[in-house]
Chain A
Amino acid sequence: MSGDEINPAAVAQAVEDVQGDDRWMSQHTRFVQECKDAEPEVLFIGDSMVQLMQQYEIWRELFSPLHALNFGIGGDTTCNVLWRLQNGELDNIRPKVTVVWVGTNNHEHSAEQVAGGILAIAQLLTSRLPKTKVVVLGLLARGDGPNPLREKNAAVNGFLRSWLPRLGQAQFLDVGAGFVHSDGTISTRDMFDFLHLTAAGYRAIAKPLSDLLLQILDETPEEKRASLV
């Protein structure tokens, strides 16, 4: 990112209630409350890709046992996640790993800006939680066939691949392999609306992710929980 320009994707911003039922704020408030009661080892934060995962069996199978919290909100951009993290969703918790998955909804921003927003989230996490490891998931391809958003998401991933290692405690994990077939199409068996994952789609990404999480948790020096194995 060049010099003094402010990256709009790295500016914290709450979602305004335009619909009239204040659901975004209600969800944020619930997460802040969860921080008071829970002691998560893993924190997932992001958009609907994170949120929906908790509704499938795979969450209970692979991530609940890791004492994971899910702070996903559908529709969120990097700006919204930044705001939430700055306004209570990191209070009183000390997760060993934070999984960040956001960026596909940043429609107003360029690929470089989106990557900058994700980087800002990773930086915020490592500064607020000095001992946490940050895993940033790559943005998935989307749409039935090739389209500009696929190129954009791939470009975001490209920036993240080179920027994240410089943070030391952050790493990039690409879970998108296999979704785009040789003819360029994505199947509704994997993404029911060419964006959101089905149970089968989540199963495909959950395995490499949970393997990585187990590895990181295993490496973490403090109290090793027998229940993790």
Chain B
Amino acid sequence: MHHIANASLTDKVMSSGDSNPAATPTPCVDIQGDGRWMSLHNHFVSNSKDKEPDVLFVGDSLVQLLHQFEVWRELFSPLHALNFGVGGDETQHVLWRLSNGELAHISPKVVVLWVGTHNHGHTAEQICGGIMAIVQLIKDKLPKAYTLVLGVLPRGKMPNPLRERNAQVNKLVKDAVSSLPHASLLNVDPGFVHSDGSISHQDLYDFLHLTPQGYQAVCQPLHAHLKGLLEKQAEN
């Protein structure tokens, strides 16, 4: 498949394809036998041909599931948003999708990027590198777009290493985008972790994926922030 070396990157080595698997565009191999990942990718590419979204949401199952609930129609359809979320996607998969057609026919003003929690086997540094590679790719393909990276949420019922990893990813990404005029990190965790360290299934039904209630808590501030960004983009 196509591996694109990000020659324009001079940043940290972690966002260069060769040394970081999380930042190397990689398609998902169909091991189950029904080719769904590629079908979805192709669907997104062809679906974008006659759309003119102002906002593109791209990422993993947290993005994909958002599209299924009322909150999408309430808050994001009115902003002319498209949803290119694929369950299970890691940073390298999103990188491949965006490098292979999903940005070819559209010019959104804002790209909302939410990915990283499924990058099992990668370190926080590698995951940050993967996210930053996506941010750079979006900049290359859509020079006028703003990229809003959403912080990776905590997961698991009780404190665990993945919560620490995700928090570290957010910290590293926040630092990395701080000098960029075209990107920022938004923390969308409304406080899912209670004082005893637990997360409720009312917010994350399987301690990873959001319930409609969980999405409302995440999306209200996100929506407000997006509207602000779109207004600023309109002024430029």
Contacts and interface: CB of A to CB of B under 8 A. Distances in A.
Interface of A: 18-23, 26-27, 30, 51, 54-57, 73-74, 107, 142-145, 147-150, 188, 192-196, 198-199
A23 B208 contact: yes
Contacts of A21: 155-157, 160-163, 207-208
Contact of A193 (B40, B157, B201): B40
Interface in B3-35: 31-35
B206 A27 contact: yes
Given A23-B156, A23-B157, A147-B35, A74 B206 contact: yes
B167 to A, nearest CB: 13
Contacts of A188: 43
A107 B31 CA distance: 9
A19 B162 contact: yes
B155 A23 contact: yes
Interface string B36-69: 1001100100000000000000000000100111
A56 B70 CA distance: 9
Given A19-B162, A144-B35, A192-B67, A54 B205 contact: yes
Contact of A142 (B31, B36, B158): B36
B157 A26 contact: yes
Interface string B73-104: 00000000000001100000000000000000
Contact of B207 (A26, A147, A195): A26
Given A23-B157, A26-B207, 12 more contacts: A20-B162, A21-B207, A22-B158, A30-B201, A51-B205, A55-B69, A55-B212, A74-B206, A148-B34, A193-B87, A194-B34, A195-B34
Output the residue of B67, B157, B158, B208 with the most chain A CB within 10 A.
B157
Interface of B: 31-36, 39-40, 43, 64, 67-70, 86-87, 120, 155-158, 160-163, 201, 205-209, 211-212
B233 to A, nearest CB: 29
B107 to A, nearest CB: 23
A22 B156 contact: yes
B73 to A, nearest CB: 10
B157 A147 contact: no
Nearest to B40: A193
Nearest to B164: A20
Contacts of B161: 20-21
B157 A22 contact: yes
Output the residue of B34, B70, B162, B201 with the most chain A CB within 10 A.
B34
Given A143-B34, A194-B39, A73 B206 contact: yes
Given A193-B64, A193-B86, A26 B156 contact: yes
A203 B48 CA distance: 27
